[in-house]
């Protein structure tokens, strides 16, 4: 391991791992709080060079928004934060360092820290179900949404010229597993998108379509309560979505999806939103964990590691109002956790008092397609057009960047006037192998003279 001296020795370095809500908002607030502290530097390590506004992800899959309108370049959001784009390979808590790999050549780089913020988020949990990791689609990232849109359009193209009825049936069946917010919003957007695209395919009709939502509980959207859940079910069923309650998907093949009750559904498209698990890097850390997440105290600090903090999906944040319970891993909580952890790190560096994290959910909203939504705000239920309008208004206000707000509002306006695009420009299903080949080629061409590890 080669030690490369830098000009930054002697400075306190805050390293944030993760470019999601928790990590980015922690970096933004640290930048504001410590902008005038020359002895402090902030570094954000992210897998992508952009911040993805995930609440609008299903609108990318349904062609309601342009792809780049819900992402913000990290270097545009963070003016005084060093952004390192790469994968985190190792977190060495005893030696206060992180090993990351950057670029196509996976060049290893060591990043030392004085304070570490773990905001690594979560990944899709397929529960080791047969065929899922190879065949099912997730809805966690921008490539996931692009891949879903491309696959739907490709299957419509194939079905339009397919003579075999059983093959056409499997091509035109779309199953979404999971009746939470992600699953309901995805199936609603997918259903609208497919049905609005049908007029462009003369050999297809709505009677051939099968859009299904599979949920393990007795009512969908359980977070919003039974009343709004049943309202959502009625709206989706009226619009042609088949809902199977108290059911689970057991396995998947290239042509079929199988439920635990023995039902076989001819289907080639399964979207899995029925579970997440914290980043695998968390399991390797010698920290106390609960439900797979790192346990932190009321100040978002990791016990036994005073220089390590955790926020977002990978953190088990105690709810001081409800002893024994934790705050839910939602975006609105991660945003507030990012702010509080920034304040507490700044307090440690400046010798001030720490602030405990306490936040009560303001409200929950879901878009269920065709200018209809459901919402619970401050304990009050809303549904229909007004709830949909609130969903768009609130999330538009939360979207970072004035230019992005204007672009999204413009896209939504155009969506009222013109039909959706039905072209699959980005087909990641077909390009996955070539992308892997390019990465491997770049690795082969890497110079063997490069240092094994570059220390920052």
The tens digit of pLDDT for each residue in 107-146 reads 899 999 999 999 999 999 999 999 899 999 999 999 999 9
Q: Which residue has the higher pLDDT, 339 or 106?
A: 339
Alpha helices, DSSP H, located in 66-198: 74-77, 132-135, 142-160, 165-171, 181-197
Contacts with 359 (C-beta within 8 Å, 6 or more apart), sequence order = 327, 332, 333, 336, 337
Within a domain: 456:
no
What is the count of structural domains for the chain?
2
244 and 95, same domain (yes or no): no
Within a domain: 419:
yes
Residue 361 pLDDT: 86
335 and 401, same domain (yes or no): no
Query: Of the candidates 295, 317, 350, which is a domain's last residue?
Result: 350
Residue 323 pLDDT: 85
Within a domain: 93:
yes
- pLDDT higher than 80, residue 4: no
End-to-end CA distance of the chain: 12
155 and 259, same domain (yes or no): yes
Within a domain: 74:
no
Residue 427 pLDDT: 56
- Beta strand 71-73 pairing with 82-85: unpaired
Give the C-alpha separation, 84 to 396, whole Å: 28
Query: Of the candidates 294, 326, 350, which is a domain's last residue?
Result: 350
Q: Looking at residue 166, which CATH number applies to its domain? A: 3.50.50.100
pLDDT band at 1 (very low <50, low <70, confident <90, very high): very low
- pLDDT higher than 80, residue 454: no
232 and 317, same domain (yes or no): no
Residue 104 pLDDT: 75
The tens digit of pLDDT for each residue in 39-81 reads 999 999 999 999 999 999 999 999 999 989 999 999 999 999 9
The tens digit of pLDDT for each residue in 183-209 reads 999 999 999 999 999 999 999 999 999
Within a domain: 317:
yes
Task: Please state, rounded to an integer, the average pLDDT across all residues of the chain.
Answer: 90
261 and 406, same domain (yes or no): yes
Q: Which residues does residue 214 pair with via DSSP β-bridges, in sequence order?
A: 177, 244
Residue 447 pLDDT: 40
- pLDDT higher than 60, residue 178: yes
Under 8 Å between Cβ of 138 and 277 = no
247 and 300, same domain (yes or no): no
110 and 209, same domain (yes or no): no
Query: Of the candidates 296, 326, 350, which is a domain's last residue?
Result: 350
The tens digit of pLDDT for each residue in 387-427 reads 999 999 999 999 999 999 999 999 999 888 888 888 766 55
Under 8 Å between Cβ of 284 and 91 = yes
Q: Looking at residue 282, which CATH number applies to its domain? A: 3.50.50.60
pLDDT band at 455 (very low <50, low <70, confident <90, very high): low
Distances (CA, A) of 93 to 118, 161, 188, 352: 11, 58, 44, 25
The tens digit of pLDDT for each residue in 70-98 reads 999 999 999 999 999 999 999 999 999 99
Span 266-275, average pLDDT: 95
Which residues form the domain of 27?
Answer: 12-47+86-124+277-350
381 and 233, same domain (yes or no): yes
- pLDDT higher than 50, residue 440: no
- Confidence (pTM): 0.89
157 and 252, same domain (yes or no): yes
164 and 207, same domain (yes or no): yes
Residue 171 pLDDT: 97
Residue 451 pLDDT: 45
Only one residue has tokens 């899709």, namely 124
Under 8 Å between Cβ of 93 and 286 = yes
416 and 289, same domain (yes or no): no
C-alpha 214 chain-centroid distance: 21
Residue 170 pLDDT: 96
Distances (CA, A) of 181 to 17, 129, 275, 343, 364: 26, 22, 12, 31, 9
Within a domain: 393:
yes
- pLDDT higher than 90, residue 180: yes
Residue 456 pLDDT: 56
Within a domain: 221:
yes
pLDDT band at 433 (very low <50, low <70, confident <90, very high): very low
Residue 9 pLDDT: 56
The tens digit of pLDDT for each residue in 225-249 reads 999 999 999 999 999 999 999 999 9
What's the angle, vertex CA 366, arms to CA 364 and CA 370, rounded to 5?
155
375 and 246, same domain (yes or no): yes
Within a domain: 202:
yes
């Amino acid at each position: 391991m080669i030690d490369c001296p830098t000009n930054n020795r002697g400075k306190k370095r805050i390293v944030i791992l993760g470019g999601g809500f928790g990590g980015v908002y922690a970096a933004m607030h640290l930048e504001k709080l410590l902008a005038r502290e020359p002895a402090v530097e902030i570094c954000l390590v992210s897998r992508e060079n952009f911040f993805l506004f995930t609440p609008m992800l299903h609108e990318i899959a349904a062609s309601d928004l342009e792809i780049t309108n819900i992402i913000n370049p990290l270097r545009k959001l963070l003016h005084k934060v060093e952004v390192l784009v790469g994968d985190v390979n190792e977190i060495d808590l005893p030696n206060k360092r992180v090993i990351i790999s950057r670029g196509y050549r996976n060049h290893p780089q060591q990043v030392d820290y004085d304070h570490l913020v773990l905001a690594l988020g979560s990944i899709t949990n397929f529960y080791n179900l047969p065929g899922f990791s190879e065949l099912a689609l997730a809805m966690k990232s921008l490539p996931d949404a692009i891949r879903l849109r491309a696959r739907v359009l490709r299957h419509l193209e194939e079905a339009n010229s397919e003579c075999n009825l059983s093959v056409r049936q499997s091509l035109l069946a779309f199953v979404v597993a999971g009746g939470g917010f992600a699953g309901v919003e995805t199936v609603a957007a997918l259903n609208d998108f497919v049905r609005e695209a049908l007029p462009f395919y003369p050999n297809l009709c709505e009677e051939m379509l099968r859009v299904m939502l599979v949920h393990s509980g007795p009512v969908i959207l359980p977070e919003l309560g039974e009343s709004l859940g049943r309202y959502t079910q009625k709206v989706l069923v009226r619009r042609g979505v088949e809902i199977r309650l108290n059911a689970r998907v057991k396995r998947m093949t290239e042509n079929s999806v199988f439920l635990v009750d023995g039902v076989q559904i001819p289907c080639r498209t399964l979207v899995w939103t029925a579970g997440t698990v914290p980043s695998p890097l968390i399991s390797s850390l010698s920290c106390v964990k609960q439900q797979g997440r790192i346990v932190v105290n009321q100040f978002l600090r990791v016990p036994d590691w005073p220089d390590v903090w955790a926020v977002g999906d990978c953190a088990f944040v105690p709810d001081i109002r409800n002893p024994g319970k934790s705050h839910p891993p939602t975006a609105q909580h991660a945003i507030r956790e990012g702010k509080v952890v920034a304040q507490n790190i700044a307090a440690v560096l400046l010798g001030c008092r720490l602030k405990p994290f306490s936040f009560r959910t303001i409200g929950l909203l879901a878009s269920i397609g065709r200018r209809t939504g459901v919402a619970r705000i401050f304990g009050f239920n809303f549904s229909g057009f007004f709830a949909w309008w609130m969903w768009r208004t609130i999330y538009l206000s939360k979207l970072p960047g004035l230019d992005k707000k204007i672009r999204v509002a413009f896209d939504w306006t155009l969506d009222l006037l013109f039909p959706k695009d039905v072209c699959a420009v980005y087909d990641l299903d077909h390009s996955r192998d070539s992308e892997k080949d390019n990465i491997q080629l770049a690795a082969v061409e890497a110079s063997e003279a490069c240092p094994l590890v570059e220390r920052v």
